[in-house]
Structure 1
Amino acid sequence: MKLNEGFLNSMQEAMTVLRTRGPAEATEVIQRALRGETAGAANETVWHDKLPGPIPFPFAEAKTKEAAPYTARDAGIDVEDRGHFGTHAYSNAAGSRQYRLYVPAGAAGEPLPLPLIVMLHGCTQDADDFAAGTQMNALAESHRCLVAYPVQPRRANPSKCWNWFKPDDQHRERGEPSLIAGITREIIAAHNVDSARVYVAGMSAGGAMAAIMIAEYPELYAAAGIHSGLAARCAQDVPSALAAMKGGKRSKAQRASTDAPQRPVIVFHGDADATVHISNAMHIVNGFDVQVDVGSEARRTDAGRRGCTVARLVSGDGIDAELWTIHGAAHAWAGGNAGGSYTDPAGPDASAEMLRFFLEHPQRR
C-alpha cells in the first residue's frame, strides 16, 4: 500500500486520538484510513460524533453547519473581481506555509504605501473560509489595505489549529511565529506596504497566535486584534491549554510569562463562549488598566442585535487597548457573514471595528 500524504495524516491523527480519547477511537481512525477515507472524514467522526458536548479546541471547535463554497458574487459584492486574491507560498528553516493575499484594485498605482493586515484563522478553518466569514477583503477594498491569510495545514495540526500552546511555537524566529513573520516580511518587500501600518489579527487559535505575534514582534506589527482568543504563552502543552480555555486559575509561572503591553490591542469576546472562557479576554488586556483610569461604555443595539460593553483602556506607558464584551455571544466572529464558519451575524461588526482601531494606531517608532 502506497503511504500517501492522506494516509500519513490519518496515522498522525490516530496517535493524537489515542492519547486523548482512547484505543477504540484511534482504531476507528486507522480502519477508516485503510478503507481509503481521508483524515478529515475520520476527524469528523471521532471529534464531532463521539463527544457529547462542545469539542475541546485546540483539537477542533464546536460543530456547526458546513460552510457552503463562497464567492464574493454569492454575497452580492464583486470585491474579488475588482481586486486580486491570489495564493502564494513561503518557506524557511521551520517549514513552509501557503497564504492567500488580497490586493485591492489599482494598488500598484497608489501614490502612498498601503496598510497590511495579517489574518490568522481558527481551528478547522482555512483562508477562504475566514475571508468569507470576516468580509475583511471588502473592507480592504474600500479602505485601501492589503490582507494576508496564512494557512495552517492539517499536517501541522490535525484540526488545522495554530499551535499556540507549544513552547516551540511561542517565540520569535522559531516555529510558526517565524513562518507568519516571514510571510509578513515577504509581502512588505514585494508590495507597496506602509511598514508603520502592519497589523495582525486572529480568531480563537488564530487569536491566541496573534497575541504571541504582537508580543514577539512589536517592531513588525503596530497593533493586534484578538477575537475569542487567549493571552500569549498562557499554556505549555495540551492539558494546560484546556485548563486555560476553561478559565482555570493560572499558575505563577504562567502569570509571570505575561508580557507587559508594547503595542495597542483590540479584543472581542462573547460572554456566553463555552469554548474559550471570557476570562481569557481579561488576561489579554492585563497590564492596560493598572496605572490609569479606565473608561467604559455600554452600547445598545437594534432589536434582535446583540448588545456589548466596550472598555477603553490605557497602559501606564500610554498604549491603548479596547475590550469588547459581546452579551449572549458564543464562540464566533461578531458581525461575521454566514458564508463562513463560526460567525455571529447578530453581533457588532468586529472586522470594521478592528480596522478602525488599526488605522488609528500606526507604529510608534
Structure 2
Amino acid sequence: MTTDYVAEILRATGTLRSGDPAGVTAIVQNALALAGLKDPGAGIAAGASARTTPMPQPLLPGPVHTDHHSFGAGRLRKPLGEVIRALREGGKGLKLEGLPGMGRPVQAPELPLPEGARFLDERYSCAAGARRYRLYVPSPAKKGLQGMIVMLHGCTQNPEDFAAGTGMNALAEEHRLLIVYPAQTGGDNSMSCWNWFRPSDQMRDAGEPAIIAGLTEGLRDQYAVPADRIFVAGLSAGGAMAVIMGETYPELYAAVGVHSGLAYGSANDVMSAFAVMRGQASLGAVPLRKPGAGLETGPRMIVFQGSADTTVHPSNAERIIAGKGAGAGTTSRVEPGASEGTRGYTRLVARREDGTHGVESWIIEGAQHAWAGGHPSGSYTDPRGPDASAAMVRFFLHGASELSNA
C-alpha cells in the first residue's frame, strides 16, 4: 500500500543531522505503527517536505498504483530500509532543512480587498475528486477579463498564503485577471504537496490533472475568459504540477509559469523524487507531444530557479527547458548585475517564429527555494527579487517579460 505519512519519516532529518540512524529507524517504525502498518518493507510514496509544526494525521492510503506508463523506467517504490538509507546518504546532496515547511507554520494573512473585488472561497468536484479553491475576481471584471491564471501552491502552503506571498491579486487588479488558487488537501498528501511524482497524477483525464483542468474549464466558461488567455503557474511541487498541466492539457493553457519546479515525468515515486530533487538523473520521461515540437507548439513557458536552491537542484530548470525544445530557437543571454538590494540573474530566451518568447529561463543568483520578489507576508518568498509575478504576467499577456528587447 502507498502512504502519505512520509512526513514522519522526514521528521527524522534532525536525527539524521545529529548522526543517529537508530533514532531515525525508531521514528519511522513509530509512524508505521500509528498508521497501522505492520510490514516495515511496505512501499512509501510521497512528494513531501519536512515540517516541524503539528499537522493532522493523514488518511490511510488506498491501493498501490502499479501503472508506470511509457514515460517511466519501471522504478518501483522502495522498502523502508532503502528509504532510510537514501535519506541518510542524500543528506549530503539535499539539505532537508531547506525543504518547504520546515520550521515555518503557515498562518494565512488577511488580504485587503479593493472596493468591488471579491476573494471567494469555493469548492469544485468532479469524477476524479474534489478540491477547495480561492478565486480572486478583480474589481474591474465587468469591463471584461484579460485572462485567468491558475496558481498552484507549494508544499505546506495554502491558497491564502500563496496569494499573499506572490502578490498576484494586486496584479489581477492592474491587468483585469481572474486568479484561481486550488488547495491541495492534507488527506491527499500529508504535506499538502501536489503529487507531481505519482504516475496516476501525471496523465490526462485522471487524478489531480483532471481536477485542475476541470476547474479551469468551468471557471473559463462561467466568467467568459478568452480561451487563448488561460495560464497556469506554480511553486516547487506546484511548479512541477504546472509543467504536468501544460504537458497533459496543451490545448487548454496558453502559457505555463514554473518557479523552482521539476520536469514532466522525472519521478514516479518518493525515491526517484528525492533523487531528481538532488540533481541526479531523472527517469527520462517520454513527452506526450512530438520531440522537438515544444517550442512552436503547445504552451509557452517561463521558468524561474534560484542558483543556490538546496531543495530543488538548479539542474531541474535545464531539464524543464530541454523538454520544451528550447535549443531549437534563437537564443540570447542577459546577465545583469544586481542593483542595490536586489539579486542579479541570467535570462535565457528562445523565440518562436512569430517573435514571441516560446521559453524564458531566469536563473537567480544566490536565491534559495523561494518565490522571487515575493511579499514576506507569505511563506517561501524572497523579496530581493526579481519580481517573478510581474514577469510571469507580462510573459503570459504579451508573449515576453519586461526585457522584451533582449
Asked if Structure 1 and Structure 2 have the same fold, meaning a TM-score greater than 0.5 normalized by the shorter chain, the answer is: yes
Query: Deviations along 1:315-358, whole A, 9 cap, x unmatched?
Result: 68976110000000000000000000000001200000000000
Indicate yes or no: 2:320 matched with 1:284. yes
Pick aligned residue for 1:55 from 77, 96, 99: 96
Change (3 A) 1:196 1:134: same
Q: Is the 8 A contact 1:64 1:342 kept in 2?
A: no
Q: Is the 8 A contact 2:247 2:264 kept in 1?
A: yes
Change (3 A) 1:290 1:315: farther
- The CA distance in 1 between the partners of 2:127 and 2:102, in whole Å, is 35
**Equivalence for 2:155:** 123
Query: Deviations along 1:94-125, whole A, 9 cap, x unmatched?
Result: 11111110001141x22x44300000000000
Pick aligned residue for 1:24 from 23, 26, 42: 26
Give the aligned residue type for 2:109: Y
Pick aligned residue for 1:248 from 272, 275, 280: 280
**Equivalence for 1:345:** 383
SS in structure 1 at match of 2:230: strand
What is the CA distance between 1:89 and its match in structure 2? 0.9
Give the aligned residue type for 2:246: I
- The CA distance in 2 between the partners of 1:332 and 1:20, in whole Å, is 21
Alignment of 1:203-222 (within 5 A): 203-222=235-254
Change (3 A) 1:42 1:26: farther
What is the CA distance between 1:66 and its match in structure 2? 3.5
Would you tell me which structure has more helix in proportion to its own residues? 1
Indicate yes or no: 2:358 matched with 1:320. yes
What is the CA distance between 1:13 and its match in structure 2? 5.1
Give the aligned residue type for 2:134: R
Pick aligned residue for 2:139 from 86, 105, 109: 105
What is the CA distance between 1:54 and its match in structure 2? 3.6
**Equivalence for 2:262:** 230
Structure 1-normalised TM-score?
Answer: 0.82
Change (3 A) 1:23 1:93: farther
- The CA distance in 2 between the partners of 1:230 and 1:31, in whole Å, is 33
Pick aligned residue for 1:89 from 103, 111, 123: 123
**Equivalence for 2:64:** none
Point out where structure 1 has 5 or more consecutive residues left out of the alignment. 1-10, 44-49
Residue correspondences, number: 332
Change (3 A) 1:15 1:198: closer
What is the CA distance between 1:360 and its match in structure 2? 1.3
* Percent of paired sites with the same residue: 43
Root-mean-square deviation over aligned CA pairs:
3.1
SS in structure 1 at match of 2:123: strand
**Equivalence for 2:373:** 335
SS in structure 2 at match of 1:40: coil
**Equivalence for 2:109:** 70
What is the CA distance between 1:41 and its match in structure 2? 6.5
**Equivalence for 2:308:** 272
Indicate yes or no: 2:177 matched with 1:139. no
SS in structure 2 at match of 1:265: strand
Pick aligned residue for 1:310 from 324, 330, 347: 347
- The CA distance in 2 between the partners of 1:292 and 1:26, in whole Å, is 48
Indicate yes or no: 2:55 matched with 1:40. yes
SS in structure 2 at match of 1:236: coil
Q: Is the 8 A contact 1:310 1:324 kept in 2?
A: yes
SS in structure 2 at match of 1:72: coil
Structure 2-normalised TM-score?
Answer: 0.74
SS in structure 1 at match of 2:229: strand
**Equivalence for 2:198:** 166
Change (3 A) 1:155 1:41: closer
Q: Is the 8 A contact 2:327 2:350 kept in 1?
A: no
- The CA distance in 1 between the partners of 2:206 and 2:97, in whole Å, is 26
Q: Is the 8 A contact 2:372 2:388 kept in 1?
A: yes
- The CA distance in 2 between the partners of 1:203 and 1:16, in whole Å, is 19
Deviates more, 1:332-341 or 1:282-291: 282-291
- The CA distance in 2 between the partners of 1:228 and 1:15, in whole Å, is 21
Give the aligned residue type for 2:96: I
- The CA distance in 1 between the partners of 2:6 and 2:396, in whole Å, is 41
Q: Is the 8 A contact 1:172 1:178 kept in 2?
A: yes
- The CA distance in 1 between the partners of 2:222 and 2:262, in whole Å, is 32
